[in-house]
Chains A and B, each alone.
Chain A
Amino acid sequence: QQPVQSPQAVILREGEDAVINCSSSKALYSVHWYRQKHGEAPVFLMILLKGGEQKGHEKISASFNEKKQQSSLYLTASQLSYSGTYFCGTVSGGSNYKLTFGKGTLLTVNP
């Protein structure tokens, strides 16, 4: 079952902040965040693990609420290069390998 992302789309001006949310109906072991530019492959941003460990991007932060099975990605002082579609992926249940993605959030940063 796909995690649910919100909002579906957001438009920013350069320098503004944005938050993208991801929630699941299942207990989560980890949450993965990716960004995809049009016509390209998704690119890794961040992993949040059960227990609080994070690995990822120095200019992007995220939170993981294990009890609520939710994660949020925080984009601060957005740049034009932040434009793209953001996907959260979740690993849940008994499988450490099955990574399921949400439908994505389209972020547009304008000058």
Chain B
Amino acid sequence: NAGVTQTPKFQVLKTGQSMTLQCAQDMNHNSMYWYRQDPGMGLRLIYYSASEGTTDKGEVPNGYNVSRLNKREFSLRLESAAPSQTSVYFCASSLGGQSGNTIYFGEGSWLTVV
């Protein structure tokens, strides 16, 4: 019962380094999401993919790129990490297609940029 799997769980980066957060789901979901969570700010949508082959910007896309590699996988890339990108990142997925489908979250990735 894996659900939504994110890697890595913890990462420390130096300013200017790049990295990719990986996300995979095994629920045959169509839609996938990346959120970041900062104290007092709630969950903010970075990018989402309504279906395989499509991606769209969320509320805070600057400094990030995404790839919907296939139906299962949706990766988030930081090309040149900045301290402001220190955050907890959650990947999520849902059946999509309708607004009434539950979103399932991964366990989160704790990223620190120094």
Instruction: List chain A positions with a Cβ less than 8 A from chain B.
Output: 1-2, 29-30, 32, 40-44, 47, 49-50, 53, 55, 87, 89, 91, 95-104
Contacts and interface: CB of A to CB of B under 8 A. Distances in A.
A100 B41 CA distance: 12
A13 to B, nearest CB: 25
B32 to A, nearest CB: 10
Interface size class of B (residues with CB under 8 A): 20 to 34
A100 B3 CA distance: 21
Nearest to A105: B42
Q: Report whether over half of chain B's contact residues are helix, strand or loop; otherwise say mixed.
A: loop
B42 A96 contact: no
B74 interface: no
Interface string B47-62: 0101000001011000
Select the residue from B31, B43, B104 with max chain A CB neighbours within 10 A. B43
B18 interface: no
Contacts of B44: 2, 101
Select the residue from B41, B97, B103 with max chain A CB neighbours within 10 A. B103
Contact of A41 (B48, B58, B100, B108): B108
Contacts of B50: 95-97
A102 B35 CA distance: 12
Contact of B90 (A42, A50, A89, A96): A42
18 contacts: A1-B59, A2-B59, A32-B103, A41-B106, A42-B105, A44-B103, A44-B104, A87-B43, A96-B50, A96-B99, A97-B48, A97-B96, A99-B33, A101-B35, A101-B42, A101-B44, A101-B45, A103-B40
A97 B31 contact: yes
B80 interface: no
A101 B92 CA distance: 13
Contacts of A42: 43, 90, 105
